[in-house]
Amino acid sequence: MANRKAFIFGYSKRSSFLTKELQKQNFSVIIIVSEENSYNKAKKDGYLDIIKLDITDDEELESLDVSESDYLVCVMEDSHLNVFLTLSLKSLFPKSKIIALSDSFHVTQKLKMAGASKIIDLYQVSANRIYNILNKPIATKLITNLLSSEHELSIREIDIPKNSFLHNIKVDDFNFAKYGVILVGMIDRRLSEQFLFITSGLEHSLDRGDMLVCIGYNDDLDRFERYVSSSCIKGISDEDNIVFDELE
């Protein structure tokens, strides 16, 4: 899997956890800070790719080496500054994916208007987690243990590229388990950005541009993501005895 790049704007306890998780997913992380204390904290934590600049200055932001495939993650502790930064980044890098953290409904609405590609609402996440702990304790414990940093299992978002062999194949006609991954859901971009949980008997055709959400071991997910990019359908039938490791 190609190495991806993520610019993290702001460095605090919550962003330090995020940077570690992104690195586990093979992201090259560049930390952007505007204060000396944040710079020193990131450096003390072992990060070398740290840039100190004034995030309110568009000229300084524009000097960053950002490409269309990069992720821009806004985790400033000041929510107003986070909204302002999102607005600036959307204007300067309109084709890059902008992810922003929110701690309230009102901030979430402002971030949507500012052009964030994806918003992680910490208040909603916390509320959902408390609800699940109270009402679904066994399932919550299982998922927490499954996806903890002590395990090698991960959830991966995998886009189906233009020339993928998966184009026009129905979900139920493809054996994901054979390749060591479990398909838990998808987004059909032709229909909407709504997440669809996958259940048996779903008569749905996969298309280029769709996004698959899979669970599996990191190595299997890496291989499967590379395989999805292949234009060759050879070797995917149940009758074949090709070992997945040989498909690289």
Q: Which structural domain, as residue segments, surrounds residue 207?
A: 152-247
The DSSP call for residue 220 is H
Residue 201 confidence class, pLDDT cut points 50, 70, 90 = low
Q: Are residues 160 and 86 part of one domain?
A: no
Mean pLDDT of 151-179: 82
3-state secondary structure of 28: strand
What sign results for the dihedral spanned by CA atoms 160, 163, 169, 175? negative
Q: Per the domain annotation, does 172 fall within a domain?
A: yes
Q: How many domains does the chain have?
A: 2
Q: Are residues 99 and 169 part of one domain?
A: no
Residue 87 has pLDDT above 90, yes or no: yes
Q: Are residues 216 and 102 part of one domain?
A: no
Q: Per the domain annotation, does 145 fall within a domain?
A: no
Number of H helices and E strands in the chain, helices first, is 8, 10
Q: Are residues 156 and 122 part of one domain?
A: no
Q: Are residues 122 and 198 part of one domain?
A: no
- Which spans in the chain are helix H? 13-24, 36-44, 58-62, 79-92, 105-114, 122-135, 137-146, 218-228
Burial class (CB in 10 A: 0-12, 13-18, 19+), 51: middle
Here the CATH number for the domain that contains residue 115 is 3.40.50.720
Q: Per the domain annotation, does 137 fall within a domain?
A: no
Burial class (CB in 10 A: 0-12, 13-18, 19+), 124: middle
pLDDT tens, position by position, 99-133: 998 888 888 889 999 999 988 877 665 555 555 55
Q: What is the mean pLDDT of the chain?
A: 79
Residue 22 confidence class, pLDDT cut points 50, 70, 90 = confident
**By the 8 A CB rule, do 75 and 12 touch?**
yes
pTM of the model as a whole = 0.55
Q: Are residues 171 and 98 part of one domain?
A: no
